[in-house]
Amino acid sequence: MFRTLKSLLEMIQKMIAKYDSNAKFGQNQEDDSSFIESLNCISKLINVLGEFPSNSTTASCFNRASTIQRLAMSMLDGEFRLILESCNQGNDADLKSPMPSKQSSFGSHPESDYCVVPESISREDEEFPSYAPEAISKMNRIATAMISSGYESECCMVYSLVRRNAFSSELDKLGYENISTENVQKMQWQSLEGAIAMWFSVIKHCSSVLFSGERKLCSFVFSEYPSISQRLFSHIALTFAVRFLNFADAIALTKRSAEKLFKILDMYEALRDLIPVFNYDTSSSECSEELKSQIWAVKGRLGEFSVSIICDLENSINRDNVRTPVPSGAVHPLTRYTMNYLKYACEYKETLEQVFKQHQKKEGSGESKGPESDIKSGASDYGTPKSSPFSAQLNSVMDLLDENLDMKSKLYRDPGLSYIFLMNNGRYILQKIKGSDEIHDMMGDTWCRKRSSDLRQYHKAYTRETWTKLLQCLNQDGLQVNGKVSKAVLKERFKTFTTMFDEIHRTQSTWVVSDEQLQSELRVSVSAVVTPAYRSFVGRFQQYLAHGRQIEKYIKHQPEDIENLIDELFDGNPTSMARRRT
């Protein structure tokens, strides 16, 4: 047996010398297979020799076999490293200028109707890491030989070191830089937006390309050892995922402000979508479980941050208690800001439903729901819109906005302008609701019908407050004295009508109704009430006035003039009557 062992050791030593000179592992598959098979035999013999009684012969054979095995493993270790480092990492990724996508920061100006939205750049068709099949096959044979020979730690150390360096180089190509928590706290939001956009692009790229490719490579190279494959991948992924998580955690510690919501939700979604990358195996390693736990924790803090921002919207509405009315009854900046903010927020409807369900702190409790509740309910189980926590929060915001606008309407001295203000803001809100499928679904048709009914009531109240007294001038009651039309009373009626109408025109032509349909509806309804009544009154009673200058003196406007002047109302133009007079 010892002679056979001696021959085997000499053969392996020659093969090692051959590989060390000019031959490369992988060039001759037959030689490689013979070499690997011989190494397996040595491993078995070393184990057997270790059980023999100790004597000079067995000790000598054992020591020589162990030495040659170490030489062989050293050679394989070097080959393994060379093949790992030979990977062409692919083309440089040009992710340094993330393009805008769904949502960026909402304009901080309260009258902003515009939101810019962030976009990840993902190249899912990119192959990473780009090893040739032959190279992967070589690495698989080397890894299998080293691990079966008892050199698992050496094999894993080389693999982990090289692949971590390769992954780090890939992040450098993507332009990703680590920012410490301390620096995040010091940075202005405008600067952080760019850093978040880069973070978002890189983490989406990692989710769809880098982590996926790294996991596949591990599973191919260590196909005979699934637990080792999973452990190695989890360690590599954890090394880099922690960088992303630290940045996200630092963002969640910054001061809350409404403009941050959309970036925070983008980060929340990115981490949510990252979790399935590590759910590929039911028998997860301890490292994999630690990684998922950390992702859950940071995602939870981002979720709570988002909930707090939405809830703070109520506080911002309550704080808007300026006692100066908006000129001309126009749409209030608070209305414009709130509705546009909610419209863009509802583009994240499903995410916000999930966020509120999992992370809204219960009354009297400082804790939000954990990952278990999400696993049980599923990412798409958001409940019915009308009973969901986010829907309830949305309704609460709308109720507060209504109360605030009602309070602001009372700042106007003219009741008619108060109702114009309510109509302007009510129509703006309704149009925003109807213009967004997401927010319309949450508020519901019943709410929209109620809002439309309120607008009709405001319209009637405006007509009553503004035009009732004017129409009383055209009432026939009191015109006759002793059975005859009193010219003095008639003249006074025409004079009063003209004075009141001119004053209404002068005032209400400066009022603003920006919604063209509402503006048209108001003009048509006013004209339908005033013009026929005036035409009838003039047609019946102008005969009682002397012809010529007396008629012109008391009947200043013809019915057609009244109709044209009504069409000038709500233009926000104070010079319309002045132009007519000139």
Query: For the segment 549-560, what is each residue's pLDDT rounded down to a tens digit?
Result: 667 788 899 999
Asked if the model's pLDDT at residue 89 lies above 50, the reply is: no
Q: Which of 7-11, 276-280, 379-383, 496-500 has the lowest mean pLDDT?
A: 379-383
Distance CA(300)–CA(355), nearest Å, equals 8
| Top-confidence residue, 283 or 508 | 508
Q: What is the pLDDT of residue 127?
A: 63
Describe the chain by its helix, strand, coil percentages, rounded to 5.
70, 0, 25
Name the average pLDDT for the chain.
82
Contact 260, 189 (CB under 8 A): yes
Q: What is the pLDDT of residue 476?
A: 85
CA nearest neighbour of 192 among 272, 251, 243, 115: 251
Query: Helix, strand or coil for residue 393?
Result: helix
Contact 98, 201 (CB under 8 A): yes
Asked if the model's pLDDT at residue 50 lies above 60, the reply is: no
Q: What is the pLDDT of residue 276?
A: 85
Report pLDDT digits (tens) over 190-249.
Answer: 999 999 999 999 999 998 899 989 999 999 999 999 999 999 998 999 999 999 999 999
Distance CA(363)–CA(41), nearest Å, equals 69
Asked if the model's pLDDT at residue 73 lies above 90, the reply is: no
Q: What is the pLDDT of residue 543?
A: 85
Among positive and negative, which fits the CA dihedral 305, 308, 312, 313?
Answer: positive
Q: What is the pLDDT of residue 109?
A: 42
Confidence category of residue 500, pLDDT binned at 50, 70, 90: very high
Distance CA(273)–CA(275), nearest Å, equals 6
The position carrying tokens 């149009």 is 431
Q: What is the pLDDT of residue 408?
A: 96
Q: What is the pLDDT of residue 480?
A: 79
| Range 176-190 average pLDDT | 92
CA nearest neighbour of 409 among 520, 510, 331: 331
Start-to-end C-alpha separation, the chain? 126
CA nearest neighbour of 116 among 140, 138, 100: 100
The reported pTM is: 0.78
Q: What share of the chain has pLDDT > 90, as a percent?
A: 57
Q: What is the pLDDT of residue 397?
A: 95
Contact 162, 84 (CB under 8 A): yes
Asked if the model's pLDDT at residue 123 lies above 50, the reply is: no
Asked if the model's pLDDT at residue 351 lies above 70, the reply is: yes
Best-predicted range by mean pLDDT among 272-286, 364-378, 511-525?
A: 511-525
| Range 54-81 average pLDDT | 74
Alpha helices in 360-388 (DSSP H): 371-377
Asked if the model's pLDDT at residue 470 lies above 70, the reply is: yes
Contact 126, 352 (CB under 8 A): no
| Top-confidence residue, 48 or 545 | 545
Which pair of structure tokens corresponds to residue 408?
């602001």
Asked if the model's pLDDT at residue 5 lies above 70, the reply is: no
| Top-confidence residue, 502 or 371 | 502
| Top-confidence residue, 287 or 581 | 287
